[in-house]
Amino acid sequence: MNENFRHVFVSLDFFGSFLGDAKKNRYIYHMCGIAGIIGPNASEEDLDKMLQVQKHRGPDHMGAYVDVGFATIGHNRLSIIDLSAAANEPFNDNSGRYFLTFNGEIYNYKELRKELKDSYDFRTASDTEVLLAAYIKWGKACLDKFNGMFAFAIWDSEDKKLFAARDRFGVKPFYYTLQKGHFYFSSEIKALQAATESKTPNQKVWANYFTWGSYGMPSETFFYEILQLPGGHFLELSEGNLNIQRWYDFETRVMDNQKQLTFEEAKEAYLELLKDSIKLRFRADVPVGFNLSGGVDSSLLLALVNLFEEKKRIQAYTFYTGDSRYDELRWVEQMIATTENPLKKNYFSASEVRDTAKKIARLQDEPFGGIPTLAYSRIFRQAHQDGVKVLLDGQGMDEQWAGYDYYQTENAGTIQGTGQKNPFRPNVLAPEFAALAEKPEYPAPFDNRLQNLQYRDLFYTKIPRALRFNDRVSMVHSTELREPFLDHRLVEFAFSQPAEYKIKNGTGKYLLRELLKPMVPKDISYAPKRPLQTPQREWLAEELRPLVESSLENLKNSSFSEWFDFPKLEKEWKKYLDGDRESSFHVWQWVNLSFLSEK
């Protein structure tokens, strides 16, 4: 090996006593963080800062590979089964040429390993090594073979090149910045900021957030100098030249799926794909749990999970607030009465909002969904306390099967349950700041409105922001969230089905409901979509009124004060207190920014 190559491994035994004995050559778990610096003066000290900041993503071990004068690559790891040094990352191939840092799971790694066994001599049983072997054999074409969620980077120490990629829908994060001739990448924005001080707000993204509710385009963040690799894209960096390309051609895949199937044939085909997706996502040697709401999506998923004999009666989790107008507990308990799974009900109160929101703001780095996100985080805390390290949820079905109300109206909004009323208040923005806003324009690659809205939600609005929220709230509690419905085969198949399979007689997710109907009481299979899961509207005006008003005062004294016309903002707040509460998103935006300004 070249004498300039050095390895540095630092062990952190934060969870050693909890994890128990290691078993060699078992499944390697990847609740992790990745980081790296590419350039002639890549600093080990800066890399260490990055790894320390995101160590909650993997506190058991920090590993670093240094190619002196060219690159330093790092990894945060939380290991569950294989605690041996052989499983640590950055992971190098047998030749010592390639070094991989990887966050995620390749669910079909066993099948790929069989394809690769004649061309690569495996020394572990991990999906990490399968990923690296696949890249060595197939190059960038390996990406099409992966069924999983992933963000990874591979350093070629011979050709001095970096190859990095993100999964199809961007389940796992990949942020980067270019600073002073160096390329920095990491799993979280705060890690980049620790090494580069890239904290300048992207005012256009912020203006669009307050005006249109946009969280930015796929490559943007709320910080001017920090970008993200969009889902379904890869990048190559060589001799200072950065090349980013899209590798996942969703539109072509959908067109290839548009076969004439009867409704019953489509139901049967989708059910088989769904069963296989669930089976793949149960590949873990650690306890698996389930996030359950009262909706069709998670109910169907739980019913199917219980078809697997060895997975019956896995632990289910839900949250509630004690407000019958919003809680889904009645439907959850009805479902549990059918499946007989153990259920842990997590109560979330208004008194928890302030402290939880401050913590989540530090983790998210950017604006996040309101009080439902805070309540949802409560589930992950409970699962961690119970030793449950993998949780499944039903994310992705509304986008596949047209579950949102605005799919059936002329309203092109992105928020369920707001009707025609604008949920934002751009009138409270200062004129110069408001002028930066520009209504986002999204591609419309299909010949009909429904599929174009679904496409927007999958790649530009609903799914990207939900995945970002969920990644952070799960990782802070060292739990991994898996979304079986976001298996690309399911998304492509569902997306390609006729509109009448998705919506019938004004009811969305029609095929799903028909799939679920034989398995559960009809009250569940045809339960209406409930847009609100917490009394956020009431809490902000009542129990949390002091919190809102202190947040507004904080904004006045913050570096963001010039963004607002405070007399107009206070007028809107008074209208809200007086009963104008069809939406509370604008109030949450102000509170959210106040918490972020305190970081």
How far apart (Å, rounded) are the C-alpha atoms in residues 565 and 550? 17
Joined tokens for residue 317: 């989790």
276 is in an annotated binding site: no
Joined tokens for residue 245: 């390309």
Max Cα separation, the chain?
Answer: 72
Strand ordering across the sheet containing 175-179: 5-11, 61-67, 71-78, 31-38, 182-186, 175-179, 227-228
Alpha helices in 197-309 (DSSP H): 203-212, 250-257, 263-281, 296-305
Full DSSP string of 456-498 = HHHHTSHHHHHHHHHHHHHHTTT-EEE-GGG-HHHHHHHHHS-
Q: Which of 31, 32, 71, 100 is labelled catalytic?
A: 32
Cα dihedral 527, 528, 533, 537 in deg (nearest 10): -150
Alpha helices in 173-262 (DSSP H): 189-196, 203-212, 250-257
Give the 3-state secondary structure of residue 595.
helix
The secondary structure element, H or E, covering residue 107 is: none
How many C-beta atoms lie closer than 10 Å to residue 168's C-beta? 26
Full DSSP string of 522-539 = HHHHTPPP-S--S-HHHH
Residue among 98, 61, 56, 65 nearest 79 (CA): 61
Alpha helices in 56-173 (DSSP H): 109-116, 127-138
Which amino acid does the sequence have at 283? R
Joined tokens for residue 436: 């930066």
How many C-beta atoms lie closer than 10 Å to residue 538's C-beta? 16
Distance of CA 338 to the CA centre of its chain: 30
Say if residues 102 and 128 touch (Cβ distance below 8 Å). yes
Residue 81: what are its φ and ψ, rounded to 5°?
Answer: -115, -65
Task: Using alpha carbons only, give the angle 247, 252, 258 rounded to the nearest 5 degrees.
Answer: 145
Say if residues 462 and 396 touch (Cβ distance below 8 Å). no
- Clarify whether 32 is annotated catalytic: yes
Q: Which residues are known catalytic residues?
A: 32
**Residue numbers belonging to the annotated binding site:** 127
**Residue numbers belonging to the annotated binding site for L-glutamine:** 127
